């Protein structure tokens, strides 16, 4: 079966080579090829923000970001690889390139649309980042380009077999807190969470309409217990910013519920939620148990818990401290895990049991038709 398919594919390639002066020959994909599409914020951004009109608050393309693995700063918010890199490795795909990279040409493997600082609400850091809905519009552009590379049946198959990873929400909650905004005087916490989840649901449904069937989501981290959260509480030693963590919890509950509903509502829709909230909480509170030495303080930054967002010295605060060995830390900067912590999270997303990654883990989603 596969042999025949390859043979036909080869014939198609061979004939278009002579017929098409554009050189847009059909790409031939083995049946089991599964692409990876990535949406979200800094946890997933592999460098899209290097190519937009923004500022260094929303970029990480300078030292000491990224250097442990890549030897230069790619735009990833960590000392090395981030979750989508590990998932691509596990799925035997190459690293998925930022869609806005000028050399982007990875149509059959997938694309990364994530943008550091982004939220599900368009208002979250509007004008500085690519919000989730705009990421969706880039995905639709991608599809138009894909349809020039593959015939309709192949493109359809690629989109329905693909896994769509989305990490969004944290910025929608962190921004009002760090800006001391009065948004929670206008909305109850529940109303605000429902807006965030509503915008995310819209995007999931649009991807589904385009043919996407398999979705993966890490839930939102215990935001008030990240170095930035603790720093907001400066004065009260070692305390998390509980109001912020409470929003993350509300969000996570609503996310689980809405995905269950979508599974009933949308034929063929399958998903994986990874409990990043618990995975991170455990490492923050018991670093030694997971091979770390430090769970509260960031490796890079300044102030209490190194929770002030100054890593690299190119943002509004120029002073920063850098630890000797990032692998001893759960957090690289004020809000982002180290490569080592990301690797542990990615492994659990990939092959974790249903209490950590369910109802399916990502490995199961990649293996399904």
The DSSP element (H or E) to which 176 belongs, if any, is helix 170-178
Cβ–Cβ under 8 Å, residues 178 and 244: no
- Rounded to the nearest whole angstrom, what is the least distance from the CB of residue 85 to ligand NAG in the complex? 20
CA distance 71 to 64: 10
Q: Between 10 and 202, name the residue whose CB sits nearer to ligand NAG.
A: 202
Select the residue interacting with ligand NAG from 13, 122, 145, 288 (CB under 6 A).
122
- Rounded to the nearest whole angstrom, what is the least distance from the CB of residue 118 to ligand NAG in the complex? 11
207-220 burial, b for 16+ CB within 10 Å, e for fewer? bbebbbbbbbbbbb
Select the residue interacting with ligand NAG from 147, 157, 256, 327 (CB under 6 A).
327
- Rounded to the nearest whole angstrom, what is the least distance from the CB of residue 38 to ligand NAG in the complex? 18
Cβ–Cβ under 8 Å, residues 62 and 186: no
Cβ–Cβ under 8 Å, residues 347 and 339: no
Is 231 an interacting residue with respect to ligand NAG (CB under 6 A)?
no
Cβ–Cβ under 8 Å, residues 221 and 248: yes
Select the residue interacting with ligand NAG from 15, 20, 31, 123 (CB under 6 A).
123
CA distance 353 to 363: 11
| Tokens describing residue 60 | 């990480």
Sign for the CA dihedral angle at 22, 134, 278, 66 comes to positive
Q: Tell me the site size for ligand NAG, rule CB under 6 A.
A: 11
Is 13 an interacting residue with respect to ligand NAG (CB under 6 A)?
no
Is 210 an interacting residue with respect to ligand NAG (CB under 6 A)?
no
Q: Provide the 8-state DSSP code for 182.
A: -
Q: Between 274 and 299, name the residue whose CB sits nearer to ligand NAG.
A: 299
String marking each residue 164-203 x if it binds ligand NAG according to CB under 6 A = ----------------x-x----------------x--x-
Q: Between 12 and 136, name the residue whose CB sits nearer to ligand NAG.
A: 136
Residues classed as catalytic: 42, 333, 336
Q: Between 17 and 202, name the residue whose CB sits nearer to ligand NAG.
A: 202
- The stretch near ligand NAG (CB under 6 A) out of 58-66, 186-194, 218-226, 320-328 is 320-328
Is 328 an interacting residue with respect to ligand NAG (CB under 6 A)?
yes
* Radius of gyration for the alpha carbons in the chain, expressed in angstroms and rounded: 21
CA distances from 186 to 7, 65, 181, 323 (A): 62, 38, 10, 41
- CA dihedral (362, 366, 367, 369) in degrees, to 10, reads 130
Is 133 an interacting residue with respect to ligand NAG (CB under 6 A)?
yes
Select the residue interacting with ligand NAG from 83, 93, 121, 279 (CB under 6 A).
121
The residues binding ligand NAG (CB under 6 A) are: 121-123, 133, 180, 182, 199, 202, 325, 327-328
């Amino acid at each position: 079966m596969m042999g025949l398919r390859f043979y036909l594919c080869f014939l198609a390639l061979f004939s278009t080579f002579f017929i098409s002066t554009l050189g847009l020959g059909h790409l031939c994909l083995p049946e089991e090829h599964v692409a990876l599409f990535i949406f979200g914020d800094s946890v997933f951004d592999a460098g899209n923000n290097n190519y937009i009109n923004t500022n260094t608050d929303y970029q990480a393309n300078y030292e000491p970001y990224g250097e442990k693995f890549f030897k230069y700063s790619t735009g990833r918010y960590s000392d090395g690889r981030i979750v989508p890199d590990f998932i691509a490795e596990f799925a035997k795909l190459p690293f998925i390139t930022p869609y806005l990279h000028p050399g982007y040409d990875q149509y059959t493997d997938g694309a990364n649309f994530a943008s550091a600082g982004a939220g599900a609400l368009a208002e979250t850091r509007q004008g500085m980042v690519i919000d989730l809905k705009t990421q969706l519009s880039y995905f639709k552009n991608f599809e138009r380009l894909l349809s020039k590379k593959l015939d309709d049946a192949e493109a359809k198959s690629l989109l329905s077999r693909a896994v769509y990873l989305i990490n969004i929400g944290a910025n929608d909650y962190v921004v009002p807190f760090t800006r001391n905004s009065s948004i929670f005087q206008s909305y109850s916490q529940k109303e605000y969470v429902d807006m965030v989840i509503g915008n995310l649901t819209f995007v999931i449904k649009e991807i589904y309409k385009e043919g996407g069937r398999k979705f993966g989501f890490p839930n939102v981290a215990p935001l008030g217990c990240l170095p930035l959260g603790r720093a907001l509480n400066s004065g009260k030693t070692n305390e998390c910013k509980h109001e912020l963590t409470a929003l993350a919890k509300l969000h996570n509950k609503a996310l689980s519920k809405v995905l269950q509903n979508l599974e009933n509502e949308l034929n063929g829709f399958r998903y994986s939620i990874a409990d990043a909230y618990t995975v991170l909480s455990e490492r923050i509170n018991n670093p030694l148990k997971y091979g770390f030495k430090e769970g509260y303080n960031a490796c890079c930054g300044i102030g209490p818990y190194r929770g002030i967002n100054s890593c690299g010295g190119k943002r509004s605060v120029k002073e920063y401290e850098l630890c000797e060995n990032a692998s001893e830390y759960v957090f690289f900067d004020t809000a982002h895990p180290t490569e080592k912590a990301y690797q542990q999270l990615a492994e659990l997303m990939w092959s974790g049991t249903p209490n950590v990654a369910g109802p399916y883990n990502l490995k199961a989603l990649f293996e399904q038709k």
